[in-house]
Amino acid sequence: MGIPQKLVDGYRTFRQEQYAPLAEKYLRFAEGQNPDTLIIACADSRVDPSVIFAAGPGELFVLRNVAALVPPYMPDQGLHGVSAGLEFAVTALNVSHIIVMGHGLCGGVNACLHAPSGNVTGDFIPSWVELAAPAREAVERELPNGSDEARQRLGEYRTIEVSLKNLMTFPIVRDRVEASKLSLHGLWYSVYEGSLKLRDPETGKFEQISD
């Protein structure tokens, strides 16, 4: 079985419509990359940072994983994919911004919220989404009797905050933030409205970004 024909067709469209007109720009990529922003987003197929920010190649350094989670700083022998990408973006690329972008209807957040029921199974997902346990605890505290929808949304917001907090446990991040060389931002994306809310660092509220 080959790769899906849809992808081959898409590749040919890319070659003709994207690469060919910008070939000079692409050829300069041989010299390196210089993105200014690291985006940590969910792997969800509906949440594509390049599409949402209308960004071309070379503009965004993107890490995607289940629920846009950042683990805390743990310099052990573990296989820390997110931490390695973060380290590269901060120390080698010198990004000025790190954006954690969560989203609506996030299955990873949902799994974490429902983990105590014992229904979340697998070799890797349960321990991974447990990184967001503080978000689940916040939901229990703040919305113990809320609707499923309200609890899910709050869980998504609080999960973004867990990742932002964990980012600050990395000395390379904390030092640059304290020196005002790096800023951290939280965004929440509605997969069906196609709209973004930005977390206000003063109030902690997520506010709609105007069109």
H/E stretch holding 64 reads strand 60-65
Of residues 35 and 104, the one with the C-beta less far from Zn ion: 104
Q: Check: CB of residue 101 under 8 Å from CB of residue 48.
A: no
Please report whether residue 44 would count as binding Zn ion according to CB under 5 A.
yes
Of residues 71 and 108, the one with the C-beta less far from Zn ion: 108
Query: Smallest Cα–Cα separation from 182: which of 66, 37, 31?
Result: 37
Taking CB under 5 A as the binding criterion, the range among 18-26, 40-48, 90-98, 156-164 that sits at the site for Zn ion is 40-48
How many residues of this chain interact with Zn ion, rule: CB under 5 A? 4
Kindly tell me which residue out of 41, 63, 90, 106 binds Zn ion, with binding defined by CB under 5 A. Answer: 106
Of residues 129 and 182, the one with the C-beta less far from Zn ion: 129
Distance of closest approach, residue 5 Cβ to Zn ion, in angstroms? 28
CB atoms within 10 A of CB 27: 9
Please report whether residue 42 would count as binding Zn ion according to CB under 5 A.
yes
> In the chain, helix, strand, coil percent, each to 5?
50, 15, 35
Distance of closest approach, residue 101 Cβ to Zn ion, in angstroms? 10
Of residues 36 and 48, the one with the C-beta less far from Zn ion: 48
Please report whether residue 132 would count as binding Zn ion according to CB under 5 A.
no
**Whole-angstrom distance, CA of residue 96 vs CA of residue 181:** 6
Q: Check: CB of residue 65 under 8 Å from CB of residue 56.
A: no
Binding footprint of Zn ion on the chain (CB under 5 A) = 42, 44, 106, 108
